[in-house]
Structure 1
Amino acid sequence: MWGPWRKEFLDVILVPASLFIMFGYHHFLLYRYLRYPSTTTIGYENHNRRVWVERMMEIEAKDRPALSVIANTMSAASALSSISLVLSSLIGAWLGSSNRTVFTSNLIYGATSPSVISIKYVALLVCFLVAFGSFVQTSRCLVNASFLMTMPNADVPMSHIEKEMITGSIFYEFGMRVLYLATTFLLWVFGPIPMFVSSVTMVGLLLRLDANRTVLYHYPRIGQDVSEVTKAVEHHERRPQGRK
């Protein structure tokens, strides 16, 4: 015989369902990226990064605008890592304080016991700390890539630079995904229903944003493009004149 319904049961049902939706979608995204990378925006962007590294290595080091491009990404990663660290500090201070009853209102339809509230804050804290570490690793990889790309009088293997660039982009993408998960945990503070709704909405948006419908373009080299145009002009000039 089932007991009477209590609002705490919603956390038992909706919180695991929300996590299953989020992790299930990202497992599906990882499968698509590993098996069919051209169908994901991550694979499309990594393809463009590889081509970008190849073209940058074809010009002189003093003429490369690579550092400014890498610096912009590093600035974004540094800003996000700083924000994650500040939020982690705030949550840690909140956990250490004695007054944590601000989110125990009767307006929240769900569990409001002190242990559940502590779990919510710890989950948020872990997400922000993991995001902070991911963005720090992004900066580390991009700094190493800039060193390799601007190394004078050295024949640096292109694969080493590509590896650092792709690894940095993967860390950046992972940090962003952790922040997406932190958003759902943040809404869990206001109850399991907002968390479930945010998970479904976010996965619906990510399904559209993570899908790539653009065909991978194999960018021709500048010299190759000019030579093809020259050959086309010469072929046109050698054609016999038509009758007037």
Structure 2
Amino acid sequence: MQVQDLDWILVPLGVLVLGIYHVWLLYTLIHYPSRTVIGLNAQTRYQWALYLMNDPLKNGILAVQTIRNNMMASTLLATTAITLSSLIGVFASNDLETQLVYGNRTSITASIKRLSMSLCFLVAFLCNMQSIRYYAQASFLITTPALKGKKDFIEYVAKTLDRGSYAWSLGLRSFYLSIPLVLWIYGPIPMFVCSCLTSLTLYFLDTTTQITQDLHIKSFKRRESEDVEAA
């Protein structure tokens, strides 16, 4: 294989591997949410919101502090993303890439590499800003007294928390996807290898085992039985 062909073959293959994995993850999240960590976390947030809003005067401080911690995490990621994007823009005029790995072509793909990394960090910044927006809204809603029979309002608050968490997950996912793009600086071969390793690592981070699913189901059933006994 010629050196000039590596960028046009290995880089699209690496992007394809990441794309196929995330399409599979989205399909699993929609149809089998309990098989993913994201789906189980959404169910846990709903139970958490349901429990706290049954007595907002007693649990209001705990709810607001928990949401504030999530807002601080989103703020840190947003600041990091916009800082990295700005640094890439500052050094955009400097060709600091070197021929360290076979297949690295600095004269053709340098601008594409910098643009890809900048877009990735900008997406992370926007997603984390959206996360802060939803968390700020949820911090007001979750302290509202939920009257008996207002389960639809509790579901709305849980959906607002889910949107903030999903936006935070997308922002964090952009950081994960930026790792192969950073290694693309050293050539298409490190980028392709990193794309495969990133997909494999994300698979173990995103999926759940049967033991974890059973523990969540048992904890939910135990909580529901305790609520019934208390009522």
Superposed pair shares fold, TM > 0.5: yes
Aligned-partner SS, 2:101:
coil
> Is residue 201 of structure 1 aligned with residue 205 of structure 2?
no
Determine what percentage of the aligned residue pairs are the same residue: 35
Kindly indicate whether residue 136 of structure 2 is the aligned counterpart of residue 143 of structure 1. Answer: yes
Q: Which residue of the other structure, out of 118, 127, 130, is the alignment partner of 2:123?
A: 130
Structure with higher helix content = 2
Deviations 1:30-66 (A, max 9, x none): 0000011011111011100010000010113243310
Note the C-alpha offset of 1:138. Answer: 0.4
Structure 2: gaps of 5 or more residues: none
CA drift at 1:190: 0.9
- In structure 2, the residue matched to 1:118 is 111
Name the residue aligned to 1:230: none
- Give the Cα–Cα distance (whole angstroms) in 2 for the partners of residues 32 and 153 of structure 1: 33
Q: Which amino acid aligns with 1:54?
A: L
* 1:236 alignment partner in structure 2: none
Aligned partners of 1:15 and 1:196 also within 8 Å: yes
How far apart in 1 are the matches of 2:34 and 2:191?
A: 32
Q: Which residue of 1 aligns with 2:4?
A: 8
Change (3 A) 1:58 1:221: farther
Query: How many angstroms apart in 1 are the aligned matches of 2:145 and 2:37?
Result: 34
2:83 is the alignment partner of 1:86: yes
Larger Rg: 1
Range with bigger deviation, 28-37 or 174-183: 174-183
- How many residue pairs get matched? 219
Q: How does 1:23-62 map to 2 (within 5 A)?
A: 23-62=19-58
Aligned 8 A contact 2:99 2:186 in 1: no
Q: Return the TM-score normalized by structure 1.
A: 0.84
Letter aligned with residue 224 of structure 1: V
Q: Tell me, which stretches of 5 or more residues in structure 1 are unaligned?
A: 228-244
What residue number does 2:15 align with?
A: 19
Q: Is residue 55–residue 221 contact of structure 1 (8 Å, CA) maintained in 2?
A: no
1:226: how far off?
5.0
3-state SS, counterpart of residue 220 of structure 1: helix
Please give the alpha-carbon distance, in whole angstroms, between the structure 1 residues aligned to 2:226 and 2:73: 31
